Amino acid sequence: MDISVQHSSLLLRDHDSSFWENMLRRRNQYSFYQTPQWSEILTRVLPDCTPEHRYFTFSDGSEAILPLFASKKLLFTRKSDSLPWNTYGGLIGDAAISIHHLYAAARHLVSLRKPVFDVILNPFDPLNLVHCKSYPSFRIFKNTTRILPLDRPFERIWEERFHKGTRRDIRQTRNKGVITRWNNRPDGVETIKRLYRHACDEWQGTSTYPLSFFDALTEVPGDLVRIWIAEHDHRPVAGAVVAYGKGEVQYMAAARDSGVSKINASKLLLSDIIEDAGERGFASLNFGASAGLKGVDHLKEVFGGEETAYLKIRFLHPLVRFLPRQ
């Protein structure tokens, strides 16, 4: 299908956020990562990345928004990302948007000054796992995450999805008096920062969030992002940051106090997050990538998360396609 870009313009940060949200309302489902609120967070915490979100109209009459950030590369070049930190981006439009529209947008965007365009597709995006070989200029990288369906009452998820040992650990943790709640106030932010800072000491060599990311959460409404904390004897022992899109819940970041690991507070916290999401009507919880940490991946597995594939697509300017594959 021969699709071309008819018009492209930058989105003005203050003026067009409502326009962006109207585009999202056309979709049946989307991730928090695809919202203007997430892009606002990235803008505040990534000073080396410049927001360059674009609005497109195409030759078939379709229109879409592409969240986009430009970052500096070598030799005075810049790279376009949708979106940084390996979070889900892509074209936000109606059901007519296809891989052909993405190709047209990518071809329109790249230049010798910006020779690389990367997009990571939401696992639920209709473009995910489509046949891309018709465009050999796309380099395709396959990744996996774990996703838990929330299409049944929590009691059934508990019995059918959670491993037997996980259910036992959660009961024992609750019997020890561990309680969970969400708290987006400044004291909640400081708590998750403290837990996360200690956890990062154990995750040497693993990519982590900067602490400024947590500070930015105080300006996000609780219906979009929640900081969850587990406490034992009034002491915070585990925490998690959870983001809510439309139909999708994203488990973004988590940490625990390694000094009380035997309490299994992380399991109780995750169970309560899952129950809360189901009660609020969400269809799925995305556990996210495990960054090569076997213990993290095991936690997602024992909660019944299903391994699900998603794509990273890279488009290169014709003059730099000799660059080695990553």
Q: Are 130 and 102 in contact (CB under 8 A)?
A: no
Residues 161 and 216 in one domain: yes
Per DSSP, the residues of 190-215 read HHHHHHHHHHHHHSTTS----HHHHH
pLDDT digit string (tens) for the chain, length 326 residues: 789 999 999 987 655 788 899 999 989 999 999 999 999 999 999 999 999 999 999 999 999 999 999 998 766 789 999 999 999 999 999 878 999 999 999 999 999 899 999 999 999 998 876 766 667 778 889 999 999 999 999 999 999 999 999 999 999 999 999 999 999 999 999 999 999 988 887 776 666 899 999 999 988 999 999 999 999 999 999 999 999 999 999 999 999 887 776 788 999 999 999 999 999 999 999 998 765 556 667 788 899 999 999 999 999 988 876 655 44
Q: Are 199 and 296 in contact (CB under 8 A)?
A: no
Residues 110 and 194 in one domain: no
- Residue 29 falls inside a structural domain: yes
- Which pLDDT does position 326 carry in this prediction? 46
- Residue 292 falls inside a structural domain: no
Whole-prediction pTM: 0.91
Residues 90 and 173 in one domain: no
Residues 135 and 163 in one domain: no
* Number of domains, the chain: 2
- Residue 199 falls inside a structural domain: yes
- Which pLDDT does position 111 carry in this prediction? 92
Residues 157 and 133 in one domain: no
Per DSSP, the residues of 65-103 read EE--EEEE-STT-EEEEESTTT--B--EE-TT--HHHHH
- Residue 287 falls inside a structural domain: no
Query: How do strand 116-120 and strand 179-182 relate by DSSP bridges?
Result: unpaired
Residues 192 and 313 in one domain: no
- Residue 46 falls inside a structural domain: yes
- CATH code: domain of residue 211: 3.40.630.30
Residues 167 and 116 in one domain: no
Residues 86 and 112 in one domain: yes
- Which pLDDT does position 97 carry in this prediction? 92
Residues 133 and 166 in one domain: no
- Residue 253 falls inside a structural domain: yes
For the chain, the 3-state helix, strand and coil shares in percent, each to the nearest 5, are: 35, 30, 35
- Residue 304 falls inside a structural domain: no
Residues 200 and 83 in one domain: no
Phi, psi of 81, deg, nearest 5: -120, 135
- Which pLDDT does position 298 carry in this prediction? 79
Provide the token pair at 95.
């059901």
Which domain, by its residues, includes 248? 152-282
- Which pLDDT does position 138 carry in this prediction? 87
- Residue 92 falls inside a structural domain: yes
Residues 138 and 204 in one domain: no
* Closest of 226, 224, 274, 214 to residue 245, by C-alpha: 224
Residues 158 and 137 in one domain: no
